[in-house]
Every structure is written in C-alpha cells, then in structure tokens.
Structure 1
Amino acid sequence: GAVAAGPVEVGELVAALRAARRPVFVAGRGARAARAELVALADRCGALLATSAVAKGLFRGSPWDLDVSGGFATPLAAELISGADLVVGWGCQLNMWTMRHGRLIAPDAVVVQVDDEPEALGAQREIALGVVGDVRAVAGAAAALLPGTAEGYRVPEVREAIAARGRWRDEPYDDAGGDGVIDPRTLTAALDDLLPAERVVAVDSGNFMGYPSMFLDVPDEHGFCFTQAFQSVGLGLSTAIGAALARPDRLPVAALGDGGALMGASELETVVRLGLPMVVVVYDDAAYGAEVHHFGPDGHALGTVRFPETDFAAIGRGHGYEAVTVRGTADLAGVAAWLAGPRSAPLLVDAKVARNAPSWWLEEAFRGH
C-alpha cells in the first residue's frame, strides 16, 4: 500500500511552501501517477512544474509546464529553475543529470525531497527537508493544509515567457545542414509537425538522444520511454516494440542513433513480423558520436568508433519496411506520404545528420567525466 507521511513532516513541507516566493516542483518516475495531486498543490502555492527525463509529458498542457529539468532543459527552464527559492523533488532523485551537477539549484534555495524510500532522501545532494511518503498522498495532504492560493512564481511575465520560449524549437539556432546532411534539430522539429500527436516515443542512447527527447512532444507521461538507466546503446528499438504493444492506440516512434540501430538491428524483423505500424528514425552520423566527441578533442584514435556510410533505408526495405533517406526537409515528403497511406508496413527514416559538433546535452554530460 501507499506509504503515509507523518503529520510533522507534511507540516514542515507546508511551511516551506508558504514561505516560498518562487517554488518549483520537479517530478520524477515516482510521481508519474500523481499529476492531479501535484497540479492541485502547485495551483495553491504558485509553483512552476518540471520533470526529470523519465517523467517527460507529465504536466503537458499546463501553462506552467517547464518540461524537462536538467541537461535537456530549455534555456528558459534552466533560468527559471535556477531562480527558484524552493525546489521540491517528488519521487525524483534530483541527481546530477536532473540538476546539471547542482547548477540548477540556487545557493540559497531550500531543497525538499518527497519519496517513499527513506534511503533515497538526500542520497544525491544535501536537502533541507526529507518527507517519506507516497507522492500522491503527501501532495494531497499538503494541499488540504493550504486552503488559499498564492501567486508564487506564477507572475504574468513568467507565463508569457513560457508561452513564447517554453519549447526548444522556440530557440533560434544556426542551421548546420547542407552538403547532403540535415541538422538534427531541423529534422526533429519537422517530424514533430508531421507525426500525429497521439504517439509513444522510445529513445535510444547516444550523441543524438537529446534531439528526439526535446524536439518531439508527447501527449503525456505514457508517451515517452527513456532507455538510459542502463547507460547502454542498442535498447531503443526493443523498448519501442514493447511500448507499441502496450499502447496500440498510439503511433510508436523509435528514435535511434546509427550505432544503436546496428546493435539492435535484429529487432527490425520483429517489428515487421508483429505488424507494428512503427516509425523508426535513425540519426545517422556514421559513428558512435558520443565517443567521437568525447575522445576526439584529446587526440585519441577514432577508427574503432567511426563507421562506413550505411544505407539504412536499404536495410529497412530488406526487412519489409517502407523507407526514405533524408538529407534535407524536402525528403520528408516520403514520411508524409506514409502517414497518409494505409501504414501496412513500418517506416524507416534514414536521416543523414550533421556530425561536426557534439550535441548541447553531451557537452553538459561530459562535465561530470
């Protein structure tokens, strides 16, 4: 059953919420079933809403949703989270990835953690208050002790900023495409426009992974499958198959790097055999991109982590996929045609992506190495 928090700890949490002027909630895997309770509590104390990567989509539709906190955070989300005077982690470890090695927590911010496992409290960083209890139960109990509403962080200029700059695609960038390759940001934003909103996205690991994680919207917390707990490439396609079987009402999208796609290529046949109308997007930079950008600047030999050019579209067709090679946005017409058709075979998108620079999230991750 649900772990009930003690009244003293809940009272201390409520006192922290009452004292805060700029509260932010960061919800993790342990909060995925508690949207309604967390939104109700946030409405009473004026908190902005964010998630760890594994809970992406939990607050979709709220005008106060900052989306993901951490390496994938938009510049605006990072600015607002680092400006908080109270950060409450709900079923969330507040680890180095979610908090950018602590830089998203202001020096004078009060940090509170709510978790049903006592050993999780303070395991990743120093906290001012730890509350042991089920997230839904604790949020509900705290809301009952906050009868009124406070403006908190929800001032008009913040709402306007979130509306204008709350998504990565709202941020300007210099397009790195051309000469036969497409910028992965341009690719993913275009796919986001094309693909149905009712989707479930599974993301493999690698240099590319931030692009689908941040430029593909999902309808809710059940629309995003993150495979990074094992720190291994090659798990994305099999994860997408499981998600497709679990949610046949949604379009399954597997976002893979070329290294992970080659590692898990045996599952291409599984998708066809099961008759899954899946879109498999391969971000092809002809390398294990993370290793190239991690070790290359230090002069290490890269022959073992660079690949010959691979025709993933041909590999897909050999397995029974419809397939399209994308080197520019005009090539995405093939995706639109597949979406408009019977979708009787899965689709493989072989995207030849720009490869000269590491992704922003990877530069962030390398700070911890």
Structure 2
Amino acid sequence: MSDTTYCHQSIAQAVLDHGIDTIFGLMGDANLFMVNHYVREGGGTFVPVAHEGSAVLMALAYAQVSGKVGLATITHGPALTNCSTALTEGVRGRVPIVLLAGDTAVTTPQNSQNIDQREVVKATGAGFEQMRSAAHAAEDVATAFYRARVERRPIVVNMPSDLMWQEVAHRRTVLPVFDTPAFVPEGDALDEAIGMIASARRPVILAGRGAVGAKDRLIALAERLEAPLATTLKGKGLFAGHPNNIGIFGTLSAPGAYDVIAKADCVIAFGASLHQFTTDKGKLLEGKRVVQVNTDPATFTANYRPDAALIADAGLTAGNILHWLDEAEIAPSGFAGEIDAASVAQHPPGRPEGASPGHVDFAHALDRLDAALPRGRVLATDGGRFMTEVWCRLSAPEPRRFLVSTNFGSIGLGLQQAIGAGLAAPGVPVALFTGDGGFMAGGLTEFNTAVRMGLDLIVIIANDAAYGAEHIQFRDRQMDPALSQFDWPSFADIATALGGAGVTVASADDLDAAAEAIANRDRPLLIELKLDPDDVPRMRM
C-alpha cells in the first residue's frame, strides 16, 4: 500500500487480513474502489455476477463447501433490496457470510437510491454492522467476520460511500473465535439418556448437519450398539459406504428404510432439529425413546420434545456414551445385523417404458444420471416439485458437498449456489438439478457467469413446461392447469448461445447421448430432461 491509505483500501486489506481470497459481487459507486484495490493490489479474486442476490447465494455455497466465511459485496439501495431473498436463505440455513454493502452518502439524503438499509437487513433476519467511521473500518469488518462465525448467519456491513476516500491508518484486526468443542454432558440428564440407550433393543443413530464433525465417533457408537445409521436430508452422504447406512431418515426414506425406522425403539439424534419432515410429523417417533444431542437448546422446543435432551457437542457426547456402555458391559443390540442396509436404502427403480411420447421417465433418468455423473462431485439442488426425487436418488459424497437451497422455500437459487461451490472447490465437478421455472428465475441470469469463470458445471433441468407444484394442484381439483404451463424456449439451445453446451433428452434412448456429453464435457454443460407434467413423481414432503 502507498504511504497514504484510504478507507476503501483499509476495507480491502481487512478482508485480506482474514484470509479471504474470493469476493462475489456487483460493483457500484459505493464499493468499486474497494473491489479494485482488493484485486489489483491485494491479488484477490473478484467474481462479477449479473444480479446482486447471486453474489450472496454464491458466498453462501462457498462458505458451506470451503468451511470459511463467505464474502460478497454490493452497492446501495436497490442493490441491497435485490439481496433480500438470498439473505433470508442464508439466515435460515445458518450460513456464516459477510456482505459488504455500500450505503448512500450521509451528505446526500435526496439520492434516489437512498433507503433505510438497517430496516431492510433487519427484515431478513441477518445481522447489521454499521461502519462507524473511516478510522474504524478495519475493526468493523473484523467484528462482522467474528459475528458471522459466532452467530452462524449473514452479517451486513453498512459502508457509507462518503467514507471511501478518507485517509486512515490501517491496523490489522482479526478477532479470535473460541469454537473448540467443550460441551460434555453430565448429571441426571446424561444418566437418563444412557439408561434409555442401554435398554434399547432396536436403536437407530441419526445425524444432522450439526454432527458432521463427529462422523467417526458416531460410527464407533453405532458399531458398538450394532445400530443402523441414518441422516437428515442436510446430513446426506455422511455415512456413505458404511454397511450400517440406511440413508435419509423421514419422509424421504426409501420404503425399506422407513419400515426399519418404524420398528426402532430408540432414536439417538445428534446435531438434528427433528423437524416435521425428519419425523414425518411425529409419526416416525411414536412409541420410541428419543435422545437428542445438540449445542443449540432451541432445537429441543422448536419441533419435537425429546425424552432426554443434552446440550452438548455431538462427538464428545458420542464418545462419552460409548465409554459408559463399555464400563457397564452393555451387550450390543444386534439390530443392524437383522437388516440388509444396502437393500433397504434403495428406492424403487424408474420405468423407462412408462413415459409418454416425447418425454423421459424422471426416476429412470435420475438413476441413469447418478451413474453417469462424476463420483467426486458437488451435488447442488434448486427448489421445486422435482427436488425430493433428486434428494432421494442422487448420491452425495458428504454433507459439505451437498447443497439444498430451499431454506426459504424459493426456486431459482440453485445455479448461483452451484457456481459458488465450484469456486470453493477448484477442480471438483458440480452437478446442479433445477427445474424449468427455477432456471428461468435465476439460472438463466448466471449461466454465462459459469462460462466466464471456466467452471466444470453440469446443469440438469427437469423441464415439465410448467410450474409443477401449481400444476398438480389444479389437476387434483379437476381444474384446467393451463395457467401453470409455459412454452419455454429450448434450454439446450440457450446454453449453447451463452457459451456452454446443451443436450436435450426426450426419450430413454437420449440418455446415452447425455452420458456421453458428460464424459466428454469441456465447458459448462446443460442437459434438458423433457418431462410430462402429469407424470412427475409427487413431492415427498
């Protein structure tokens, strides 16, 4: 940096001080000089997006896949309002990112883009950090990074544009986060939990995303108990390849796995919130003793009231339970030995011969694509009617590489998150499943961004030429669904026009060409599955 340091340079340096090498964003008059310094003097990577909300979504996926705090930047006014949906998605997904948002100069309140940005951010549930002065810029950025990690949500730093060219003395400020696991349960609650587990004859170990770091200890406990292993949707892939793994627990379970869970007499849940889809509105937990382990006590009252609740770290607690089971010489249950986990985790195969002319059977196409897609991939999914079948049938290598962009129930967020994931894991292919409506809502805007960034991205569009969830509601009431139907252009042709490659699948035979295109891809690839809107599997939630 030069002898004279300006506020915008101090902000950029504060970001670099936190080890952040990638910013997603859209430049405007309130942040362009900060971005310029970050790239040209700091050597950082700036990913320019087409829509401000995309920057936040990419940062969310980057944070999940990389394990770092994600970072995005935008200018003021409408740029911030364009981020409302994405910020809410991040809040509900509990993803730590920082959004550096410019603000209208305090001296020009008549600016047409001037709004009360604090109130906009507040409505999303994200945190707000007002930049107090140019001299405090680095400290305020550091506070935002600290809050993002501790509070596990997006934090917006509000940067008045009239501060950017004020001179400052930059001081490196990084606030330590004390996140070493230290919650070890003890006392009556632990004794009750161990008693329930020790007396169980058919226990099941359930892990949510909050237990991802405890994988090895959970497996050790399951093997000691001879118990099946299952995950929530967001924990998908955690136990992939283990012989006791029966897949997703809840409404997305394979039929055989659902039956196994129904027979269980004890569920030991680690890092899971036990919401209505995991418990099938409580039906899967009826008649069972439920032990719930979570660091967030709010989960014990938000959804399901467990028989034993331990506010504790998942890994330390699993190890503690294992120790006392050994001390008491508790015999294993043998429950896992009564089932063929690999078999019960399988969903019924699709029907390639059952599709109407000009369409492909969705379940069959997913089974074929799961085999054709690269094994070490990131799996990203958008919202929409198609999503539950994708979640059930497509394999994910581990939870950090499985993106579910439905925390706010929106469509059109998936492709942006797929791009963020691709940049967080260089060299790792990303497969995104989205619907036709979702692609038009958000994917079309950013597909060329993936081309510009040279990402290894495979986009599969479930194109039923309709808003499927609304279409099926019209059909269920014997009403004309025409208002839910759309005559879209060819998505495969659009992908080619935007610099990628496109393949259309309108029959089972076309899946061979899709598999070949996946194997030989050299640019972002889009595969358009032509689906009959009256023959798409129903949502399982």
Paired letter, 1:328: S
CA distance in 2, matches of 1:294, 1:28: 32
* Cα shift readout 1:296-337 (whole Å, capped 9, x = no counterpart): 323556444211143110111111111100012321233333
For residue 314 of structure 1, give the secondary structure of its aligned residue in structure 2.
Answer: helix
For residue 283 of structure 2, give the secondary structure of its aligned residue in structure 1.
Answer: coil
Correspondence 1:90 to 2:90: no
Correspondence 1:10 to 2:190: yes
Match of 1:186 in 2: 364
For residue 88 of structure 1, give the secondary structure of its aligned residue in structure 2.
Answer: strand
List aligned pairs for 1:236-255, cutoff 5 A.
Answer: 236-255=414-433
For residue 104 of structure 1, give the secondary structure of its aligned residue in structure 2.
Answer: helix
CA distance in 2, matches of 1:354, 1:260: 17
Deviation for aligned residue 1:227: 1.0
Change (3 A) 1:6 1:219: closer
CA contact (8 A) 2:204 2:228 kept: yes
Greater C-alpha Rg: 2
* Cα shift readout 1:110-134 (whole Å, capped 9, x = no counterpart): 1121110112113212211111011
Match of 1:337 in 2: 516
List aligned pairs for 1:60-99, cutoff 5 A.
Answer: 60-99=240-279
Deviation for aligned residue 1:272: 0.4
From 387, 403, 406, the equivalent of 1:209 is: 387
**TM-score, with length taken from structure 2:** 0.63
Match of 1:167 in 2: 346
From 463, 474, 490, the equivalent of 1:311 is: 490
* Cα shift readout 1:168-206 (whole Å, capped 9, x = no counterpart): 2xx255453130100111101001111121111101111
CA distance in 2, matches of 1:22, 1:137: 23
Paired letter, 2:240: R
CA distance in 2, matches of 1:49, 1:356: 36
Deviation for aligned residue 1:11: 2.7
Change (3 A) 1:297 1:75: same
Change (3 A) 1:188 1:150: farther
CA contact (8 A) 1:20 1:85 kept: yes
* Cα shift readout 1:10-39 (whole Å, capped 9, x = no counterpart): 332222111111111221121111111111
CA distance in 1, matches of 2:469, 2:211: 30
Match of 1:325 in 2: 504
Match of 2:281 in 1: 101
Change (3 A) 1:36 1:311: same
From 149, 154, 166, the equivalent of 2:335 is: 154
Match of 2:212 in 1: 32
CA contact (8 A) 1:293 1:357 kept: no
From 42, 54, 66, the equivalent of 2:222 is: 42
* Cα shift readout 1:339-358 (whole Å, capped 9, x = no counterpart): 333x3211100110232145
CA contact (8 A) 1:181 1:352 kept: yes
Following superposition, which runs of at least 4 residues in structure 1 exceed 4 angstroms of deviation? 172-175
CA contact (8 A) 1:10 1:141 kept: no
Correspondence 1:227 to 2:368: no
CA distance in 1, matches of 2:370, 2:284: 28
Long gaps (5+) in structure 1 = none
CA distance in 1, matches of 2:349, 2:373: 22
Percent identity over the alignment?
A: 33
For residue 118 of structure 1, give the secondary structure of its aligned residue in structure 2.
Answer: coil
CA distance in 2, matches of 1:165, 1:98: 17
CA distance in 2, matches of 1:156, 1:140: 22
CA distance in 2, matches of 1:4, 1:133: 4
Change (3 A) 1:299 1:335: closer
CA contact (8 A) 2:369 2:515 kept: no
Paired letter, 1:279: I
CA contact (8 A) 1:58 1:220 kept: yes
Q: Which has the higher contact order (CA 8 A, sep 6+)?
A: 1
For residue 25 of structure 1, give the secondary structure of its aligned residue in structure 2.
Answer: strand
For residue 407 of structure 2, give the secondary structure of its aligned residue in structure 1.
Answer: helix
Aligned length: 357
CA distance in 2, matches of 1:33, 1:6: 18
* Cα shift readout 1:37-76 (whole Å, capped 9, x = no counterpart): 1111111122211111111000101111111112211001
CA contact (8 A) 1:286 1:310 kept: no
**TM-score, with length taken from structure 1:** 0.91
